[in-house]
Amino acid sequence: MGSTSAENDGKGVGRRDLIKRSAALGLISVPTMSFLSACASGGGDDQEKAEAGEKTAENPLAVNESAGMEFVLFDGGFGKEYAEDAVELYEKAFPKAKVKFSATQKIQSTLQPRFNGGNPPDLVDNSGAEQMDMGVLVGKKQLADLTPLLDAPSYDDPNKKVRDTLRPGIVEMGQFDGDPVWILYYAYTVYGNWYSQKALDSLDAEYPQTWDEMLAVCEKAKKKGMAGWTYAGKYPYYIPFSMSPMIAKVGGAEVLKAIDNLEPNAWKHPAVKTVFEAWYELYKKGYILKGTPGLDHIQSQTAWAKGDALFLPNGSWVENESAKVIPADFGLTVSAPPGIDDNDKMPFGTIWASGGEPFIVPVKAANGAGGMEQLRIMLSEASSKNFTSKVKSLSAYNGGTDGIELTPGLKAGVAALELAGDNVVNPRMQDWYVQLQKEKIGVSCLGEMMAGRLTPAETIKKIQGYADEAAKDSSIKHYKHQ
């Protein structure tokens, strides 16, 4: 086709053509203009805030009765029913308010643009694989201080503040840098060694309290064709659920704090070395279920539930998550990790327990008071009981277990907490430094060590290297235990 373009086309342009042409141009340019003025981060146009309502005894947070409230829940292991029930209570309290409730697993991809645009929802359960980085949210001043909620009278007893109805540690966990409380963890998780009491009985063994006893139990199990341990090999950051409290038990809680604070040589503490060597012993003696490094959490839990392995480092959600594969007569139990021997710094029973399911109220929310009121409703005894009976997990509400029948795992969790007393540790690495904890320490070091590809000494050196890197990395916000 002869399109040599030698000829100038200009002379052929008539008036009609001009109009046509400009119309075509307009088609492109009109939308172009409208978004040029508002590019991605061109925020500033924050949404209008709802006016405060009247502050009464029933409405201590002065929620605007007719303002809409939007609640985005992470739709994970706990499902969404418990939250829907709480939303119903909110709607009953504020019949004129329009509540928009949604549940998703894609927290960040759905909400990130809205945080950027200044129109986030009023209450968010920021959890799951796509959890938005809390450190960044706090650092960039995107969250509302929840102190008004904590100081408001509780739902059940007007003479008691919300903060006094919570389990120990919940408020502290929500603090990052001083007094303001940015996060309210709604669930309460007990971490530790999970096992079948029935299997342990069948071995004619007691739960071990020292490492020698642990090795003896594993040996017994091995003779019966059962592995001592398995874990989520593809997500080895489950290992610390049992390993971290053991480090605290052996060397004292300060060791964990130093680790969290990214102090130099924190990992070189002798307690760390002792514990790593103890765990490595499990690998060397062949007490780890064959194939474990290739199993994900579900697969390892299933192998464990069918009796291939005795112990599993995990959190209290395991009861709900693996409900379908845990046999009825399993006798699900959790115990604190054993220590090394009598020279340990902390008593047997030292356990890791802390909040889960972080709820936040964005500072730019239109109806932040509404979001907090929703949380206040969820922290009532009735809602908490509803949560516990529906999802088999404790909530942040201290108590809330009377009068409902506890499942075996829950019962064991409550017992383990009682045994622990004040000896509850709460390592913060997994909230503060996600990449460091999960990917670097978990996958690249602990996972490699338990698969037998790194010795304990090499592991410590590698972890310390990663920790030092993170301490120096200016792109990460650093936190310290208060």
Please select the residue that binds other proteins; options are 203, 325, 382, 419, rule is CB under 8 A.
Answer: 325
Please count the residues of this chain forming the interface with other proteins, following the rule CB under 8 A: 91
161 forms beta bridges with 153
- 381 token code pair: 């005894």
Please state, in angstroms and rounded to a whole number, the distance separating the CA atoms of residues 400 and 394: 8
DSSP sequence for 226-288: -EEE---TTSGGGTHHHHHHHHHHHH-HHHHHHHHTT-TTGGGSHHHHHHHHHHHHHHHTT-B
Interactions with other proteins, residue window 349-388 (CB under 8 A): none
Interactions with other proteins, residue window 6-35 (CB under 8 A): 7, 9, 12-13, 17, 20-21, 24-25, 27-28, 31-32, 34-35
Please state, in angstroms and rounded to a whole number, the distance separating the CA atoms of residues 387 and 376: 14
Residues for the chain: how many in total?
482
Q: Which residues, including other chains, have CB under 8 Å from residue 123's CB and lie 6 or more apart?
A: 69, 70, 71, 72, 359, 360, 361, 365, 370, 371, 372, 374, 375
Please select the residue that binds other proteins; options are 53, 77, 337, 370, rule is CB under 8 A.
Answer: 77
Residue 43 binds other proteins (CB under 8 A)? yes
Q: How far is the CB of 415 from other proteins (least distance, A)?
A: 25
Give the interface segment with other proteins, choosing from 4-12, 170-178, 209-217, 249-257 (CB under 8 A): 4-12
Q: How far is the CB of 212 from other proteins (least distance, A)?
A: 28
Residue 457 binds other proteins (CB under 8 A)? no
In Å, the largest CA–CA distance within the chain is 101
352 forms beta bridges with 191, 425
Give pairs for 9-16: CB < 8 Å, separation 24+: none
Please select the residue that binds other proteins; options are 54, 66, 113, 286, rule is CB under 8 A.
Answer: 113
Interactions with other proteins, residue window 114-143 (CB under 8 A): 115-118, 130-133, 135-137, 139-142
Q: How far is the CB of 476 from other proteins (least distance, A)?
A: 8
Encoded one letter per residue, x for contact with other proteins by CB under 8 A and - for no contact, window 279-298 reads: ----------xxxxxxxx-x
Residue 57 binds other proteins (CB under 8 A)? no
Q: How far is the CB of 21 from other proteins (least distance, A)?
A: 6
DSSP sequence for 88-108: HHHHHH-TTSPEEEEEES-HH
Interactions with other proteins, residue window 297-316 (CB under 8 A): 298-299, 302-303, 306, 308
Residue 443 binds other proteins (CB under 8 A)? yes
Please select the residue that binds other proteins; options are 70, 260, 321, 357, rule is CB under 8 A.
Answer: 321
Please select the residue that binds other proteins; options are 50, 69, 73, 75, rule is CB under 8 A.
Answer: 75
Amino acid residing at 475:
S
Q: How far is the CB of 14 from other proteins (least distance, A)?
A: 10
Please select the residue that binds other proteins; options are 189, 209, 244, 322, rule is CB under 8 A.
Answer: 322
In order of 178, 256, 336, 378, the CA distances from 321 in angstroms are 36, 28, 20, 22
